[in-house]
Amino acid sequence: MQWAASKAFDIFLIATAVIVVVVIVCVGIVSVIVAVAEPYKRTSVKFASVKSSTVEATARETSMKAATAEASST
């Protein structure tokens, strides 16, 4: 009987160790994915904000040129 209890305890310890290793590996994989994806995320947001401000500046310049041309033709 003692042998069966000891074997069950050993199986429990092995299962616990496997679960701990799996959790550590998953956390490591997720942290690597986040670390790799982070520069792309920042870059795309930065380019998007630069692009939108450039479009706004171009639109303002176009409207100012139109207003100047209209004023000078009058």
- State pTM to two decimals: 0.46
- Is residue 7 pLDDT above 90, yes or no? no
Which of residues 20 and 9 earns the better pLDDT score? 20
Q: State which residues form the domain around 16.
A: 1-42
Q: What is the mean pLDDT of residues 2-17?
A: 84
Do the domain assignments include residue 66? no
Q: What is the pLDDT of residue 2?
A: 61
Q: How many domains does the chain have?
A: 1
Segment 16-62, tens digit of pLDDT: 999 999 999 999 999 998 888 877 665 555 555 555 555 556 666 77
Do the domain assignments include residue 10? yes
Which of residues 24 and 7 earns the better pLDDT score? 24
DSSP state of 1: -
Do the domain assignments include residue 18? yes
What does the alpha-carbon distance between residue 73 and residue 65 come to, in Å, rounded to a whole number?
12
Do the domain assignments include residue 67? no
